[in-house]
Amino acid sequence: MKAILPLLAATVLTWLVFLPLQAQNNAPVNQSQQTVIVGEDEMPDYEPYGLLNAMPAFLDDIKQDLTFPLAWRNSGYKDFGRWRRAARQQLFDCMGQLPPTSRSFDYLILEREQRNGYQALKIVFDISGYCRIPAYLLVPDGQGRFPALVALHDHGARFTIGKEKMIRPIGQADSQKLQEAEGWAVNCYDGVFTGDFFAQNGYVVLSIDAIFWGERGRKEGASYEAQQAFASNLFQLGMNWCGLITFDDMQSVEFLSRLPFVDARRIGVYGHSMGAHRAWMLAAASEKVRAGVAVCWMNTTQYLMTATNNQNKGGSAYSMLLPDIRRYLDYPDVASIACPKPMYFMNGRQDKLFPVEGVEDAYKIMHQVWDSQGADWKLKTELWDVPHFFSRDMQQQALEFFQKQL
C-alpha cells in the first residue's frame, strides 16, 4: 500500500496540470486568432521584397533619420575650436585602424629628368611603418623654399595609372604607360598634366598612387571587381579603404613639410573627382594643409543616395566610404572641418554624377560655417558649365587661387 500511494499522488498531480490545458484546447477558438484568407483586392499593406535594385526599400526612412548631430549647425557647440577638435576626432575614429607612422621617411631618388623650369624625380619613401612606395616629385629650378602641392589623382575605374594621371610619366618615353596617361589627360584634364602645370609656375608637386592604383595595384593585374573584395577584407581586419587612403595622403603632407626646399607654411592640396574627395578630406584632417582646391566632388547624402545615382553601385564607392560617418556628419560637414582655411570648390552643371541641387545644398551648408567664423571670403564655390571635367580655364583659376592663398 505504501508503494502505491506515491504513484496515485503523481497521477493526481498530472491530472491537475493537464486538465486545464485540455480544456483550453477544446475551447472555442478566439475569433482574433483565426487565420483569415483575403482576396487579391484585399491584400495587407506590405511589399514582398526588401530591396529596390541595390537600395533598401526603406531608403527614405533611413534618410529621414540621418540628422547629422555633430554638424556645426546641429551640434550645440558654442566654441568653434572645440567643435573642430570633436568633429576631427570623430573623423579619425571612423577612419578605422591605421598603419603605424614611419619613424623616418627615408626617401631615395630613383630617376631624374630636367623639364621646362623644374626637375622631375621618381622617388621611393616610407609612407608608413607597413609600406615603402614610389612617388613623383617635381621641384622648380633655383634656390629657396618653395610652396608645395599634393596632387591627388582621380578614380575613373582606371587602375593601371595613378600618379601618372597628374604628372607626366618619368622615364617612360614612347611607353604604353605614357600613351595611357596622355589619353587620360585629354579625357579628364583638357590635355594637361596638372602637376607639371603647377611645377612650371613655381610649386613643388608630390603625387603618390593611392593603394589599388598604379604601382600599388594588384600583383595579378587591375580588376574592377576586386575593389569590393579588397574593401571587405580591410573591414574584416579593422581597417577601411577610405581611411587608409586618407592616412597616406596625410603622410604625404608630412613628408613634403620636412623637405628642405619646401616652405612648410605654404602647402596646398588639389584634385579632381575622387582626387577632390581626397583633397577636402585631407584639408579637414591635416593642420599642415593651408589651402585646397576640390573639382567635381561635393554633394549631400540626400541627393547622392538615390536609386539612380552612381554612388549606389558599390564597387568604386568603397574608396570614398567611411563606416559610420553618416551617423555624425554629412559630406559638407566633414569638409567644413577645414574652416577657416581657404578652400575652392568647383563642380559642373553637366556632371551626371553629382546632382546640381545637391551641390548647391552642400555649398550653402559650407558657406554657413565659414560665415559663422567671419571667413566666408576664404570659401570660393562655383558651378561651371562643364561635365565631370577639369578644364584648362579651371586649372588657371586654381593656380590664381593658390598664388593668392599660399
Whole-number pLDDT of residue 172: 75
Whole-number pLDDT of residue 156: 96
Whole-number pLDDT of residue 20: 47
Q: Kindly report, residue by residue over 86-102, the tens digit of the pLDDT.
A: 999 999 999 999 999 98
Report the DSSP pairing between strands 379-384 and 291-295: unpaired
Rounded to two decimals, the pTM is: 0.89
Confidence at 203, pLDDT banded by 50, 70, 90: very high
Give the residue, 157 or 24, on which the prediction is more confident: 157
Burial of 186 (0-12, 13-18, 19+ CB in 10 A): exposed
Residue 241 has pLDDT above 70, yes or no: yes
Whole-number pLDDT of residue 12: 38
Mean pLDDT of all residues belonging to the chain: 91
Q: What percent of the chain has pLDDT over 70?
A: 89
CA angle 163, 164, 170 (to 5 degrees): 110
Distance (Å) of CA 140 to CA 120, 197, 256, 257: 9, 11, 14, 16
- Which domains occur in the chain, in start order? 61-405 (3.40.50.1820)
Lowest mean pLDDT among 22-36, 153-167, 283-297, 319-333: 22-36
